[in-house]
Amino acid sequence: MSRDTHGPYRRDVMKTIGAGAAVSVLGGAAMAQEDDDGDEGADGDTDDDSGTVHTVQTLIAGPATNPERPADFFFQPTGLHVQPGDVVKFVFTTPDHNVVSYHPAFGMRRRVPVGVDAFSSPLLGWRADSIADDQIEPPAEPGEGGEEGEDGENGEDGEGGENGGEEETSAPVPSTWLHAFETAGVYDILCSPHEGFGMNLRVVVGDVEEAPFETSNPDNLAPPRAGPVGLARVTLTDPALEPANIVEQGRVPWQALSANQSGQG
Ligand SMILES: [Cu+2]
């Protein structure tokens, strides 16, 4: 990684995402203990202890439970109850997701507690071969021989070497990103690339059972432009993600959402 000789843009990207873990708000939570039930599905609900680390995975599965999406893109669990000060460790088990709060700073209607700053992770789990070549490099500057890339050549900066280099074989190594939830309340979160497919997460911090925003009826949501958009509106108004249910269950798996139950439309 450190001997990457690709172009500067590429190098910066790799630098940004290359680290195995990116840390957002950590502070004292750095000393938090790892939750026993880090694995998906396991449910030793230990979130009574402040400072607990809870694991959420980014997953893709098919076939889709809804014909409007090519596959299921989801956070697992999709609903999570934590205590103030707890840390959520996002494990990017499948690549090319991110973790973004619904916040006015991002041009969306607020769906996190008042006073909480906007937060987002980088796009993680990213790997070069998951993105088309012509999307990796920015368009060449006029007069710099910008045409050369179009026939498959990649210039003389060694970019072409990736096809035979070590990067090609790199399996999607799970990257992780940590976020500490300090303020009690209900947090709605999206994955930017897959919000339209319903890839959302609701974290309830503290024993809060109501949110200051709509959580039960898609018809009462703000205009889609303010978010949530597309199937995110379905996910975030699913009865299984009612804050009270998340508090009761601790962890609500994607499969528990009524929209994802087999046999239902
Ligand atoms: Cu995603």
Cα 143 to ligand 1 centre (Å): 38
Cα 212 to ligand 1 centre (Å): 26
Range 2-11 average pLDDT: 38
User: Which position has the token pair 């987002």?
Assistant: 120
Is the pLDDT reported for residue 147 higher than 80? no
Cα 230 to ligand 1 centre (Å): 14
Cα 194 to ligand 1 centre (Å): 4
Q: Between 137 and 30, name the one with better pLDDT.
A: 137
Class of CATH domain 8-137+166-260: mainly beta
189, burial (CB in 10 Å: exposed 0-12, middle 13-18, buried 19+)? buried
Cα 134 to ligand 1 centre (Å): 21
Cα 92 to ligand 1 centre (Å): 9
116, burial (CB in 10 Å: exposed 0-12, middle 13-18, buried 19+)? middle
Range 101-121 average pLDDT: 96
User: Which position has the token pair 């490099």?
Assistant: 137
Contact 264, 231 (CB under 8 A): no
d(CA 52, CA 135): 39
- How is residue 236 annotated by DSSP? H
How does strand 72-76 pair with strand 100-101? unpaired
d(CA 129, CA 168): 7
| Phi, psi of 159, rounded to the nearest 5 degrees | -60, -40
Is the pLDDT reported for residue 105 higher than 60? yes
Q: Name 158's Cβ contacts closer than 8 Å, sequence gap at least 6.
A: 5, 6
Give the range with max mean pLDDT: 91-95, 156-160, 180-184. Answer: 180-184
Q: Note the maximum CA span of the chain.
A: 63
Cα 74 to ligand 1 centre (Å): 7
Cα 131 to ligand 1 centre (Å): 14
Whether pTM exceeds 0.85: no
pLDDT band at residue 2 under the 50/70/90 scheme? very low
Cα 157 to ligand 1 centre (Å): 32
Helix (H, G, I), strand (E, B) or coil at 135: helix
Is the pLDDT reported for residue 165 higher than 70? no
Q: Which value, in Å, is the radius of gyration of the alpha carbons in the chain?
A: 20
Is the pLDDT reported for residue 111 higher than 80? yes
What integer best gives the mean pLDDT of the chain?
76
How does pLDDT run across 188-208, given as a tens digit for each residue? 999 999 999 999 999 999 999
Cα 75 to ligand 1 centre (Å): 8
d(CA 21, CA 205): 23
Cα 71 to ligand 1 centre (Å): 11
- Over pLDDT 90: what percentage of the chain? 54
Range 242-247 average pLDDT: 98
Cα 162 to ligand 1 centre (Å): 25
d(CA 61, CA 56): 15
